[in-house]
Structure 1
Amino acid sequence: MVEKYNIRTDLALEEKERFESDQVEVQGVVLEEEYDKEREIRVTTVRIETENGAKTMGKPVGTYLTIEAPNLSSPDEGIHREVSEELAKYLIEVMEKIIPESEHDKEVLVIGLGNRQATPDALGPYVTDNLNVTRHIVKEYGKYAAPEEMNCVVSAIVPGVMAQTGMETAEIIKGVVRETKPDLLIVIDALAARNSRRLNRTIQIADTGINPGSGVGNYRNAITKETIGVPVIAIGVPTVVDAVTIVSDTMENLLSALETSESLKGVGLVLGGYSEAEKYELIKELIAPNLNSMFMTPKDIDETVKRLSYTISEGLNLAFSGQSFE
C-alpha cells in the first residue's frame, strides 16, 4: 500500500514526515532541526545525500531548508521582518556554498514563476515587484552608481505561464540566461502542501532547482543547473492543498470524536488501525473522480500572498546587501 501512496506536496519535510509516520527509515536522508522558542520560528534541514534517498523521496539530491512560523499568516510586521532576516541568513549561506568567490560582483537573476492573474499562483510575480534590481544601473553607469550596500548585481523577470506565452518557462529562461549570463538563478514559486497547517506559514529554500507546476500535477520542464547551465536556488511558499488533504484532516478529527462515542467506538477502532498511507488511498477512492483534482486555498489569500511576497522580497534584498545576521 505504501508504494501506491503518492502524497501531493512540494515540501521535502513533508515527504520525510510521511516515511516517519509509517515507521520507514530512509537511507541517505538526514534531518536536522532548530527551534527559536522566543520567536516561534522552526528551521528544518532535509539533506538528501544519495541517489537511493533521492529515489525514495522523489526529489533530487540536495539540501531542502524549511522555515516554519505559525504567525507568518498574520499581518504583524515585526514577525515578517524576523522571518525576512531568517530567510536572508540562510540564503546567504546557500549562495556562498554554490557560487565560488570571484573578483566581480555576483550577478543574480530572480525569476518570479506563476500567473499574476491567479492569486494563489501570483507569489513569484509579486516578489519581483518589490526587488531592488540594479543590473540596468550598473550596465549604464557602472557599479559605483548602484546602492552602496548592494553586493550583487540583480535582475528579474516574470516569464508568465504557458497559457499566456505559448512557451515553456524553461525555454524563456534559457534564452535570458544565454544573453545576460548570470552567476545564479533564484526561482520563486507557489507550492502545494500536504498539511493544511503549513499553508502560508512555511518557506522552503532548495539548492536543487524546481519543476514548475508539479505540486498541482502540471509537470513542466525542470529549471535546474543541469537544464539551464547555471546554479538554481528555489524559494517557495505552499499556498494550496488538494481536496484529499482537506478530507483527510477532517477524517482525523472524526476519529478523535469517535473515540469518545460509545455507540461508534467500533468504527473508530477500525479506521484508527489504518496507516497514513491507507487512509490517504481510501479517501482518494471515496472522493474520486469529482473532487480529487481540486485544490483549496484560504479565503484571505489575496492579502496573505501580498504580505508573504513582501516578506520574501525583503529577505532577498537583505541577502543581496550582504548584511551579517550573526
Structure 2
Amino acid sequence: MLENYNIRTDLALETRERFVSDHVEIPGVSVEETYDEEREIRTTRVVVETENGAKMMGKPVGTYLTIEAPNMAVPDEDYHREISKKLAEDIKELIPERKEEVSVLVVGLGNREVTPDALGPYVADHLHVTRHIVKEYGKYAMGKDQVYLVSAVVPGVTGQTGMETLEIVKGVVEETEPDFVVAIDALAARNSKRLNRTIQITDTGICPGSGVGNHRLALNSETLGVKVIGIGVPTVVDAVTIVNDTMENFIVALESSELLKSVGETLRSYNEAEKQELIRELIAPHLNGMYMTPKNIDDTIKRVSFTISEALNILFSEGTAS
C-alpha cells in the first residue's frame, strides 16, 4: 500500500531509494546518476514525469537534482568552492529565462533564531543583491549587456510574523514582478549520513517548514504565478530514523551471532515499510515529534549557507548570455 512508503524525508532521492529497496517499480519516474571522481561529488537526477509517478512518490511532477558531497561537512574552502561551481551549473539548468535582463527574487526561508532552520536567512545574508543598482543606474552599471536583477527577502516564520510565508512572498512577487523565484530552506533526511552533506535542487518549488514536519502553504508556480526553484539541505532527522539506523546495526550484530542468527535473518526479511512500522510501535510516544541535528550545526550551517550563496553569486554575476 502506498501509505507504507510515507517516510520522513524531503529528498526525492531517498523516496525513490525506499521503493528500490523493496523491489517496487515506479512508472513515470526516471533516474540518472553521475559521479565526479575528482571532486567526489555524486549527482542524481530524479524526474517525476507523470501524475501517477507523482502520486506514488508523493512529490510534484518535475525535476529533482541531488548533489551528494561527503566532504561538504569539512571546513575546506577550496572544496566548497568546487561545490559552489557545480551547484551554479545545476541551478542554471533549471532557470527558465534567457534574456538581457532577468529579475530573480531569492527567498531565505526559515527561522534565524533556530540554528538548524537558519539556512535560508544565512544564504540571503551573503547574497549580492543588484536590483536596486540596475534600477537606479541601468544594466551597464554592472559592466555587462546581460544582467540578473537580484533581490532578496527573509519572510521569517508564522510564529514571528503572524502571517503565512506565502502571503508575504506573494505580496513581494506581485509588487516586484520577478521572472522567477529561488527559495532556500532546511530539509529533513531519512539517512543521517546525508545531513549537511547533500543539496537538493528542484523546479517544483518548496514547502516552508517541511524539514520539521510543520508544512505550510507551498511556494510554487501555482501559488506565486512564476517559476520557483527550491534549494534545500537536510539539517535534521527524526527520532524514528535514528532508531532505524540503530536497528540496522543491531540486525548486523544478530546475524553475526550463531545463537541469535535466526532472529537477525527474520528482521532482515522485513521490508523498509515494515521495519518503520515496527519502530513506530516500539518507540516512546514522546519521541515521535523529536528531531535531531549534529552538535556542530552552528559552524556547519554558516559554512553550507555560504557555499549556496556563493553558487548563486557565481551564477547571477555571469549574466544570461548562453
Q: Same fold (TM over 0.5)?
A: yes
**Which residue identity does 1:90 align to in structure 2?**
D
**Which residue identity does 1:135 align to in structure 2?**
R
| 2:38 aligned partner | 38
Contact 2:101 2:146 in 1 (8 A): no
Contact 1:5 1:280 in 2 (8 A): no
Q: Percent identity?
A: 68
SS class of match (1:281): helix
Moved more, 47-56 or 280-289: 280-289
1:147 shift after superposition: 5.6
Matches of 1:151 and 1:105, distance apart in 2 = 5
Choose which of 92, 115, 139 in structure 2 pairs with 1:143: 139
| 2:172 aligned partner | 176
1:321 shift after superposition: 1.8
Task: Give the total of aligned pairs.
Answer: 321
| 2:279 aligned partner | 283
SS class of match (2:23): coil
Matches of 2:74 and 2:144, distance apart in 1 = 33
TM-score by length of 2: 0.96
Change (3 A) 1:161 1:181: same
1:45-60 alignment, distance < 5 Å = 45-60=45-60
Contact 2:139 2:145 in 1 (8 A): no
Whether 1:63 and 2:59 are equivalent positions in the alignment is: no
| 2:77 aligned partner | 77
| 1:21 aligned partner | 21
1:216-272 Cα distance to aligned partner (Å, 9 max, x none): 221111100000001000000000000000000010011111111122223212211
1:88-124 Cα distance to aligned partner (Å, 9 max, x none): 01111111xx22x33x410000000000000000000
Matches of 2:146 and 2:186, distance apart in 1 = 27
Matches of 1:23 and 1:220, distance apart in 2 = 33
Matches of 1:59 and 1:216, distance apart in 2 = 17
Gaps of 5+ in 2: none
Whether 1:120 and 2:116 are equivalent positions in the alignment is: yes
Whether 1:234 and 2:230 are equivalent positions in the alignment is: yes
Matches of 1:149 and 1:309, distance apart in 2 = 29
1:2 shift after superposition: 5.6
Matches of 1:86 and 1:323, distance apart in 2 = 17
1:3-27 Cα distance to aligned partner (Å, 9 max, x none): 3342000000001101000100000
**Which residue identity does 1:27 align to in structure 2?**
P
1:150 shift after superposition: 7.4
Change (3 A) 1:299 1:176: same
Choose which of 215, 220, 223 in structure 1 pairs with 2:219: 223
TM-score by length of 1: 0.95
Gaps of 5+ in 1: none
Whether 1:310 and 2:309 are equivalent positions in the alignment is: no
1:273 shift after superposition: 1.5
1:47 shift after superposition: 0.2
SS class of match (1:197): helix
1:149 shift after superposition: 9.1
| 1:253 aligned partner | 249
**Which residue identity does 2:10 align to in structure 1?**
D
| 2:289 aligned partner | 293
SS class of match (1:203): strand
1:159 shift after superposition: 0.2
1:33-88 Cα distance to aligned partner (Å, 9 max, x none): 00011211000000000000000000100000000000000001111011000000
Matches of 1:147 and 1:127, distance apart in 2 = 25
Let me know the Cα RMSD of the aligned residues: 1.6
**Which residue identity does 1:173 align to in structure 2?**
V
Whether 1:153 and 2:165 are equivalent positions in the alignment is: no
Change (3 A) 1:235 1:214: same
Contact 1:196 1:245 in 2 (8 A): yes
1:185-220 Cα distance to aligned partner (Å, 9 max, x none): 000000000001100000000000011112322111
Matches of 2:168 and 2:3, distance apart in 1 = 36
